Amino acid sequence: MGNDIEMIGTMEGDGEVEAAMLIAFDSTQQALRAEMLLEYADIEIDLFPTPKEITAGCALSIQFPPDALKDVQEIIRQEHVEIRGIFALDNNERYVNIEE
């Protein structure tokens, strides 16, 4: 990612705050399926309300730490999870879809 991208929100773990990325979905079924798969893979995630700026068919999104991006992408591809996209914030605090 370029230098003009920030991560969405924060995730807390072990007393440290870390930047987070966000996956948006078109259906609740796919969001819950992704939650199960990512938890099974021991990836730290949080269910999160989909921000209003992101047009999606589902009110649920999943936050995850940026260092898990490659693992998340691999699981999504291997398990054919349908997503709206993976998002980060740019310097203007606008959501940028970094992967569809």
User: To the nearest whole percent, how much of the chain has pLDDT over 70?
Assistant: 79
Contact (Cβ atoms closer than 8 angstroms) between residue 86 and residue 98: yes
pLDDT confidence bin for 43, thresholds 50/70/90: very high
Confidence at residue 57, expressed as pLDDT on a 0 to 100 scale: 79
Contact (Cβ atoms closer than 8 angstroms) between residue 57 and residue 28: no
